[in-house]
């Protein structure tokens, strides 16, 4: 299936899937780009140049930000109307872009944000694309002016750059968007069956989705699994937890044991599956490296037997009849707590994958996450 990250991942029976390493699956953290909509809206200062190259970076056109002999620190600039007001009196403004240096000499680049001079970023000679970003406090800005410059005086050089992001109150740069990326546009179910809302999820300084262990979760709604066979397969990075933390759960919106059919979770170095009221609990030692590391976990159910897998191998099984009182599924919301973890990929199937198919999914992802 062309919509999935890897043709090696098992696709038959998929009802839900995302993968944050796939840009179609994870367009990026919800945000608004306050910057101009095209490079044509950016002015050039003095003898600086803005030259379209006909190249692209991930679909974005690229341009030269160039200075010339006789020019003094010239660059691209724009007054972004209402920028300081959008940030608020104690907010921040972050500007960023992707840059590469096609010259044989390294050069520095810097930005003015509201005429607040930022520190330089060194762009190595003959470099590949890299993200450069700067954040300033709104209080240090005296206008809405934003400028990018190669930090080289009286020299004929250029740096190739993409369209900039100009964001308020983020503190870090996010993935490029022309305009606004809403909470329901940041993470896409690659099967097209479910709308994912990231309103209740945190993001780290690399604009990657995280669950902070305080109040973060994703409500997936009804995946249509019912009481029949299913499989959950995921790559997670759990942090050390002294109590049972759930990363995937079938139940209502509360956090009570009484209000769920089953859950997958962990504590210390154990991987758990629990059923309603914890009447059946499978606790499997997952090894000293289970927490604070990436790992592949999977759960299968055929209507009578639960099987648990870690990094492609079956570690436990138990005969049990799972309750079917609820139809809602969620990530990160547990039993009177929230999980502190990162979920990089998650696939849900309406069938029982075989041991060979679980291993296939593991092998398709292990090199990417160092498993």
* Digit-coded pLDDT (tens) for 273-284: 888 765 666 776
pLDDT tops 70 at residue 48: no
pLDDT in tens, 215-229: 899 999 999 888 889
Q: Residue 15, CB half-sphere, CA atoms under 13 Å: how many? A: 17
Domain definitions of the chain by residue range? 14-29+182-369, 32-168
Compute the average pLDDT of residues 64-79.
70
Query: What CATH fold (topology level) applies to the domain 32-168?
Result: Jelly Rolls (2.60.120)
pLDDT at res. 189: 95
Asked if 14-29+182-369 and 32-168 have one fold, the answer is: yes
pLDDT at res. 5: 46
pLDDT at res. 255: 60
CA 342-343-345 angle, to 5 degrees, is: 150
Please give the residue that has the higher pLDDT: either 285 or 303. Answer: 303
Per-residue tokens: 369: 């996450």
pLDDT tops 80 at residue 309: yes
pLDDT at res. 55: 80
Residue 139 binned pLDDT confidence (cut-offs 50, 70, 90): very high
Q: CB–CB of 14/347 below 8 Å?
A: yes
Please give the residue that has the higher pLDDT: either 357 or 109. Answer: 357
pLDDT at res. 49: 60
Q: CB–CB of 335/246 below 8 Å?
A: yes
Compute the average pLDDT of residues 74-90.
88
pLDDT tops 80 at residue 287: no
pLDDT in tens, 83-133: 999 999 999 999 999 999 988 889 888 888 998 778 889 999 999 999 999
Residue found under tokens 């990363």: 247
pLDDT in tens, 179-212: 999 999 999 999 998 999 999 999 999 999 999 8
CATH of 14-29+182-369, one of 1.20.810.10, 2.60.120.200, 3.90.1570.10, 3.50.50.60: 2.60.120.200
pLDDT at res. 117: 78
- What is the greatest pairwise CA distance in the chain? 80
What ranges make up the beta strands (E) of 163-244?
A: 165-168, 180-181, 202-203, 209-212, 218-222, 230-238
In the predicted model, what is the mean pLDDT of the chain?
A: 85
Residue 2 binned pLDDT confidence (cut-offs 50, 70, 90): very low
Instruction: Mark 52-90 as b/e (b = at least 16 C-beta within 10 Å).
Output: eeeeebeebebbbbbbeeebebbbbbbebeebbebbeee
């Amino acid at each position: 299936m062309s919509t999935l990250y890897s043709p090696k991942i098992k696709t038959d029976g998929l009802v839900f899937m995302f993968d944050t390493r796939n840009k179609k699956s994870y367009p990026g953290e919800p945000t608004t780009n306050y910057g101009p909509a095209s490079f044509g809206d950016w002015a050039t200062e003095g003898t600086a140049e803005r030259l379209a190259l006909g190249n692209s970076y991930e679909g974005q056109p690229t341009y030269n930000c160039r200075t010339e002999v006789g020019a003094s620190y010239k660059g691209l600039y724009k007054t972004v109307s209402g920028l300081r007001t959008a940030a608020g009196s104690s907010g921040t403004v972050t500007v960023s872009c992707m840059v590469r240096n096609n010259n044989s000499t390294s050069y520095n680049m810097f930005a003015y944000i509201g005429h607040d001079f930022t520190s330089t970023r060194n762009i190595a000679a003959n470099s590949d694309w890299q993200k450069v970003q700067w954040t300033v406090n709104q209080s240090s800005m005296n206008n809405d002016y934003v400028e990018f410059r190669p930090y080289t005086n009286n020299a004929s050089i250029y740096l190739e750059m993409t369209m900039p992001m100009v964001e308020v109150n983020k503190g870090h740069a996010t993935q490029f968007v022309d305009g606004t990326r809403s909470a329901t546009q940041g993470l896409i179910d690659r099967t097209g069956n479910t709308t994912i809302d990231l309103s209740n999820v945190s993001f780290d300084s690399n604009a990657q989705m995280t669950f902070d262990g305080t109040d973060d979760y994703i409500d997936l709604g009804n995946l249509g699994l019912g009481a029949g066979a299913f499989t959950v397969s995921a790559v997670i990075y759990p942090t050390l937890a002294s109590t049972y933390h759930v990363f995937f759960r079938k139940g209502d919106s509360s956090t009570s044991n009484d209000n769920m059919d089953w859950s997958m979770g962990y504590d210390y170095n154990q991987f758990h599956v629990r059923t309603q009221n914890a009447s059946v609990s499978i606790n499997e030692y997952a090894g000293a490296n289970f927490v604070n590391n990436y790992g592949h976990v999977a759960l299968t159910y055929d209507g009578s037997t639960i099987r648990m897998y870690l990094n492609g191998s079956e570690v436990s099984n138990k005969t049990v009849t799972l309750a079917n009182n609820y139809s809602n599924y969620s990530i990160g919301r547990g039993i009177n707590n929230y999980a502190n973890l990162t979920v990089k990929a998650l696939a849900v199937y309406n069938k029982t994958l075989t041991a060979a198919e679980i291993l296939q999914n593991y092998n398709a992802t292990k090199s990417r996450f160092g498993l």
